[in-house]
Amino acid sequence: MEVTPSGVGRFKELMKNKFEMTDLGILTYFLGLEFLYTDKGILMHQRKYTTYMLKWFKMMDYNHTITPFELNFRKEDTEDEERVNPTHYKQLIGSLRYLCNSRLDLSFVVGVTSKHMHEPRKSHLILLICIKGIVL
């Protein structure tokens, strides 16, 4: 079947005959992903999800940064460094992982910080705050 407006219409009719469904029109929002249609194509973003996430973690007032990775970040854990709440840390990592659907530039640093979920330290949380600084 060709991908034309008439072809899409015929496909919808075939689906309506087989399944109970409602046509909601052009896709604009789905599972936290937003779609903007332009002359050049479709733009996918997560502005609404990002704002919700930043409010949820009470991070709206933090300063913005240009790069998501601190150059002097210590990769090894030190026993004397202050620990942070692992549940909060894991929730923040999960939210950032979902944000990587539209922000591929965050994938590396979110992956690095994910390695510390078993015993997160203050320096790891600071790195996550730096990531937050570039998400807007």
Q: Is 98:31 a contact under the CB 8 Å cutoff?
A: no
Give the structural domain span for 32: 5-132
Tell me the HSE value of 84 on the side-chain side, using a 13 A CA sphere. Answer: 18
Q: Is residue 31 classed exposed, middle or buried when 0-12, 13-18 and 19+ CB atoms within 10 A define those classes?
A: exposed
20: pLDDT confidence band, cut at 50, 70 and 90?
very high
pLDDT at 125 (0 to 100)? 79
Q: Is residue 117 classed exposed, middle or buried when 0-12, 13-18 and 19+ CB atoms within 10 A define those classes?
A: middle
pLDDT at 133 (0 to 100)? 55
**pTM for the structure as a whole:** 0.65
- Which residue shows structure tokens 């240009």? 66
The pLDDT tens digits for 81-131 are 888 888 888 988 888 888 888 888 778 888 888 888 888 888 777 777 767
pLDDT at 1 (0 to 100)? 45
Tell whether the model's pLDDT for residue 136 goes beyond 50.
no
What is the count of structural domains for the chain? 1
d(CA 44, CA 64): 22
Tell whether the model's pLDDT for residue 18 goes beyond 90.
yes
